[in-house]
Chains A and B, each alone.
Chain A
Amino acid sequence: MNNRQRIFLTVAVSALLLDTLYLFIHRALSASGALQADLLHTTLILFAFAGGGIYYYRASMGEEEQPMRLIGRLVIAATLFMLVIGITQLAATTHFTVTIHSEVTSDGDVLAPSSFAALVITIVLSVIGGVCALMVFSSLTRLVFLKRKKRTRRNFLLLLISGGTYIILDFLADANGFGLRSIETFGIIAYTITIIAILINAFHFSWILLLSRREKLINLMLTLLGFTLFLILTIYVNNESETALALRAYHPMLQSFVSTVFEFATASMGIGFAGTLLHLPTAREFDRKKMEISSLRNLSRLITQVFDFDELMTTTTHLALEVSEGDAAWLEIFTSTGRANSGHTAMRNGTRTSLLNITNDDIALLRTSDGGPLRQLALTTGGPVLIQDLASDLRLDVKTRDSRSIGTILMLPLSSHGDIIGLLNVTKQEAYAFDQDAMNVLSAFADMVSVAIENSNLIRESIVKERMQQELLVAQEMQRSLLPQQLPHSSRFEIAARSLPAFEVGGDYFDVMPLDETHLGVVVGDVSGKGVSAALYMAQLKGIFQALTSADTFSTRDILIRMNTPLCLSMERKSFISLLYAILDTQNGVLTYSRAGHCPLLHVRNGQAHYLQPGGMALGLDDGTRFSDTLREEQLKLEDGDILVMYTDGITEARNPQDEEFQYERLTRSATAKVNGSAGEILDAIIADVHTYSARADAEDDMTLLVLRWGGRV
């Protein structure tokens, strides 16, 4: 209860108390004992009822709008008032001689309680009657606005205005309305309009349609009870009954208010009863449709459960049972079937099942006439299979037909991309339990389940893929760290190098290692294949290479022969490594080099390119003497301005959109175009040329390029 509500309640109660006090005093002083609807009394009553009405309306504002509960409240209010009437009547006849008689005074007809006790009863009856009427009115208001439409407000305003007008005119007429006879006529007109407004407003029962059959039955009884009670009350407060007289004696406006409200309630309950009665025959069918709709709406739950496959299966089974109103249901999902052979009876690696009201043993007992499992029937058909009467279906095994625990079975294959990925089964104890409607609904349901399962699989796959991607990025970072971060340089030479893997990781390798103060080892290698396997060998290559190079020999041939044996032993048969190894004597510019099956070394002198190709086969191909027999070592005395280009076949085999390769001629042209540039400039120029040629940013093969420039620039 908030502050404002408390104020309304306080106003109402105080006004009521004040009024009661006033009535008592008035009665004590008055000779006739007649109650007069004078200004003070009227004002106090208006305050009391307005305050109480507003308080009640606000207090019930936050409640959930449940029409049946509102109707229940109407019935309670009516019953309460009936009880009070009954008790007062009983009290009046046994203990007091209470009569309210009309008394003719100078002011006209005046109603007067015959005794003090009668006055008390009058007040009690009136106050309770008023409160009940307020409750009824409030509940009716909420019922009217339950399914609010555009005209609802207008219609209700009409009722309020006409009803209010009628009540005031009736009061004025009663008080002999300033001597105006016509007021009575106006009162009758207002009353007629009020009745019409009541009828219009009483049609507010569209919500009945949505009730379940059971609720409709309850509603039927409630409205009937309400209608009866309010009809009796309406008649009672309108006639010359004691109650009517008491209300009128208390205040004429109260009586008209109470009677109008009760008329409204009677009309509402009557129409409600009729409406419910009309909807009753279709209730069962409607219930089923509603169930189907709500089940299908529940399917949205499937969508949110794609992250948990087991949960998805459980939900599916439950929903299948709910949708079909079956007795048992089970779902089989075939995991990792050989997708290539979409043969329906193909061997399934595994089946995941979710059971409801049935066991695996029960299912195993269900067999077709040839002794195969029942699911075979659906798998060979490929579409839904409905067995309407298990006992008489010849497709089934004799034993299965004899077991009478199942009458109807519906099997729905779940398919994805033309393959059957699972089977949804629903059974019912009676035969012929599923009609075409049920089958359609379940088929639609099965389609949605297929999609949900497919989505679940896709999500799982994409999560795995995402993780692999992350791993690859880690591998990429690690591989990058295997390549030299900084290249040595001096006044005598400069080196630039770059490696561009086609994927996250690649099989290309380059390294530049000072062997001692005057010798520099330079290597470019290429592991066969691509991707992760090549990258792992590349890492191994670096390890072996660094372990074997040392200052004890400056023979490139020796080193490569030493490397071949461990590589032959450790690598797969189909893998091999091509490698170009050169050792530069930084004192005198003598380059010693060997080529193990690698692309020839490009040497540019005075703008002239030469490809140097000493004999040698790739590492890892032959662990016999053939490797050492063929491997040659050559030497080259570098002159100032000489440029050496070492590369992998990703450069020369880069292809343009017409599928033509970059080839040696273009490499020559690129390498000789900037003979006066720095090693880095030459490197950039070649890579830019390759990219321009292939017209794509990503390469098909790993590309590695190393440029060494000897001596000062010309």
Chain B
Amino acid sequence: MSEFTVGARQRDAVSVLELKGYLDAHTAPELERAFQAQLDEQRYDIVVNFKDLSYISSAGLGVLMQFIEDVRKNNGDIKLCNMSARVYNVFDLLGFPMLYEIFDEEDEAVKKFLNKTGNLT
């Protein structure tokens, strides 16, 4: 069974979560904790990088749904990037592109956040 890990780093005011491995019902709590940690720090601009994620199940998608409301209420967002074709297909079938912005590259996602704050100030 493949492992699943979440790495968190900061790019300016934006938090980047790097997912790696196999995200299913068993490993989803790991991602939940990672999101919760960001919310606890009141960081609401979150980019999730899927570069090294080989599989995502519906439970994994559920974690995104679980936090999106809170994040958006606090003027933040969860943006997704670097998805493999297979992972994107899962998102696409379920209609997630309608709910989340999905970027090819992490830079684009981060830039989108920074522009937003730039506009505000």
Across the interface, name the chain A residue whose C-beta is closest to B70: A573
- Is the beta-carbon distance between A573 and B65 smaller than 8 angstroms? yes
The answer to whether B99 and A528 have CB atoms under 8 Å apart is no
Q: Which of B30-64 contact A (CB under 8 A)?
A: 54-55, 57-59, 61-63
Report the separation of the CA atoms of residues A606 and B93 in the bound assembly, to the nearest whole angstrom.
27
Q: Are B25 and A529 touching (Cβ within 8 A)? A: yes
A213 within 8 A of B: no
Residue interface mask A577-588, B partner, CB < 8 A = 1: 010000000000
A366, CB-defined interface residue at 8 Å: no
A contact residues around B59 at 8 Å (CB)? 528-530
Query: Contacts A574-B63, A626-B98; is A701 near B93 (CB within 8 Å)?
Result: no
Would you call A618 an interface residue if the criterion is a C-beta within 8 Å of the partner chain's C-beta atoms? Answer: yes
A597–B59 Cα distance when bound, in Å, is 15
On whether A578 and B93 interact (CB within 8 A), knowing A626-B99, A659-B2, the answer reads yes
Q: Flag whether B95 is at the interface (Cβ < 8 A).
A: yes
Q: Does A265 contact B (CB under 8 A)?
A: no
- Rounded to whole angstroms, the CA-CA distance of A575 and B96 in the bound complex is 13
Q: Give the total of A residues in contact with B, Cβ under 8 Å.
A: 29
A621 touches B25 (CB 8 A): no
- Nearest-CB residue, chain B, relative to A626: B98
- Any chain A CB within 8 A of the CB of B120? no
* Contacting pair A573 B98 (CB below 8 A): no
Contact in complex: B95, A617 (CB < 8 Å): yes
- Scan A596-628; emit 1 where CB is below 8 A from any B CB, else 0: 011110000000000001011110011000100
Q: How far is the CA of A630 from the CA of B99 in the complex (A)?
A: 11
Q: Does B101 contact A (CB under 8 A)?
A: no
Chain A residues lying within 8 Å of B84, measured Cβ to Cβ, are none
Within the complex, the shortest CB–CB distance from B14 to chain A, in Å, comes to 23
Verify if A576 is at the interface (C-beta below 8 Å from B).
yes
Q: With the chains together, A391 CA to B45 CA distance in Å?
A: 64
**With A529-B62, A530-B59, A659-B2: A622-B98 Cβ-Cβ less than 8 Å:** yes
Assess whether A642 is interfacial by the CB under 8 Å rule.
Answer: no
Contact present for B63 and A701 (CB under 8 Å): no
Query: Is A526 located at the chain interface by the 8 A CB criterion?
Result: yes
Which listed residue, A576, A597, A613, A622, touches B62 by the CB 8 Å rule?
A576
> If the complex has contacts A529-B58, A701-B57, are A574 and B65 also in contact, measured as CB distance less than 8 A?
yes
Instruction: State A74–B74 Cα separation when bound (angstroms).
Output: 100
Beta-carbon contact of B69 and A621 below 8 Å = no
SS class, residues of chain B in contact with chain A: helix
Interchain CB contact under 8 A, A597 and B95: yes
Q: CA of A517 to CA of B77 in the docked complex: distance in angstroms?
A: 50
Whether B98 lies near A576 (C-beta < 8 A) is no
In the complex formed, the residue of A with least CB distance to B58 is A528
| Beta-carbon contact of B58 and A576 below 8 Å | yes
Choice from A528, A616, A653 contacting B61 with Cβ under 8 Å: A528
B10 contacts the other chain (CB 8 A): no
Compute how far the CA of A613 lies from the CA of B95 in the bound complex, rounded to whole angstroms. 12
Cβ-defined partner of B94 (8 Å) among A530, A621, A626: A621
Interface readout for A637-659 with B: 1 if CB under 8 Å, 0 if not?
A: 00000000000010001000001
B62 to chain A, nearest CB (A): 4
B93 lies within 8 A of A598 (CB): yes
A573 to B95, CA, bound (A): 16
Residue interface mask B92-112, A partner, CB < 8 A = 1: 011110110000000000000
What's the Cα separation between A668 and B106 when bound, in Å? 35
B93 with A599: CB separation less than 8 A: yes
Min CB–CB distance B66 → chain A (angstroms): 4
CB distance from B74 to the nearest CB of A (A): 15
A residues in contact with B69, CB < 8 Å: 573
How far is it, in angstroms, between the C-alpha of A659 and the C-alpha of B59 when the chains are bound?
Answer: 19
Cβ distance A416 to chain B, nearest Cβ, rounded Å: 26
B25 touches A530 (CB 8 A): yes
Closest to A577 in B: B58
Chain B contacts of A576 at CB under 8 A?
Answer: 58, 61-62, 65, 94
Over the window 68-80 of chain B, the binary record of Cβ atoms lying under 8 Å from chain A Cβ atoms (1 yes, 0 no) is 1100000000000
A-B contact pairs, 11 of them (CB 8 A): A526-B58, A529-B62, A573-B65, A574-B63, A578-B93, A598-B93, A617-B96, A618-B94, A622-B98, A622-B99, A630-B98
A-B pairs with the 10 shortest C-beta distances?
A617-B95, A528-B58, A574-B62, A574-B66, A597-B94, A618-B94, A530-B25, A529-B59, A597-B95, A574-B65
